[in-house]
């Protein structure tokens, strides 16, 4: 059974929210690719649409948009997802994961692209300080 940690970013406020999904909600992500838009009800945002922007597997290998399927692939990178060079011209061979989500993926990164209402309130993480006053 698939189980993922989904990190949802709200670009309007700059906040991120983590949710654990399993069972039928996790199955909605299987077979999807980076860049796909899905309904947010799988993570508790029924009024929103989210876009899959990235992720990583259990060992921390990042998913890359330019690698097809679910496979692992070694790439010679000059920068970008998976490698940040420390000096100009540096290149390194890095193992990355493909853009399709499967059971080997541990974390999925997503961003809210459409919807009505406050994302923090939908997750139940509104300002607690305001409620006390």
pLDDT in tens, the chain (133 residues): 688 999 999 888 888 889 899 888 888 899 999 999 998 888 888 888 999 999 999 999 999 998 999 999 999 989 888 888 999 999 999 999 999 999 999 999 999 988 777 788 777 776 544 444 4
3-10 and 105-115 as β-strands: parallel, antiparallel, unpaired?
A: parallel
The runs of H, that is alpha helices, within 9-122 are 24-27, 119-122
Alpha-carbon distances, residue 8 vs 27, 75, 110 (angstroms)? 17, 28, 5
How far is CA 26 from its chain centroid?
A: 13
- For residue 127, the model assigns a pLDDT of 56
Residue 73's DSSP bridge partners are 96
User: CA–CA separation, 58 vs 73, rounded Å?
Assistant: 16
pLDDT score of 133: 43
In whole angstroms, what is the distance from residue 45 CA to residue 17 CA?
Answer: 11
Q: How many angstroms separate the CA atoms of 55 and 109, rounded? A: 5
- Cα 123 from Cα 105, distance rounded (Å): 23
Residue 131: the pLDDT is: 44
């Amino acid at each position: 059974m698939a189980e993922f940690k989904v990190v949802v970013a709200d670009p309007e406020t700059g906040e991120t929210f983590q949710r654990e999904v399993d069972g039928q909600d996790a199955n909605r992500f299987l077979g999807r690719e980076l860049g796909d838009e899905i309904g947010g009800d799988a993570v508790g945002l029924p009024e929103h649409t989210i876009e899959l922007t990235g992720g990583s597997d259990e060992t921390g290998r990042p998913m890359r948009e330019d690698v097809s399927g679910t496979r692992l692939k070694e790439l010679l990178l000059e920068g970008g997802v998976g490698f940040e060079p420390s000096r100009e011209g540096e290149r390194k061979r890095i193992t990355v994961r493909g853009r399709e989500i499967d059971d080997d993926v541990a974390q999925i990164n997503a961003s809210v692209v459409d919807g009505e209402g406050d994302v923090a309130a939908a997750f139940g993480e509104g300002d607690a300080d305001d409620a006390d006053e």
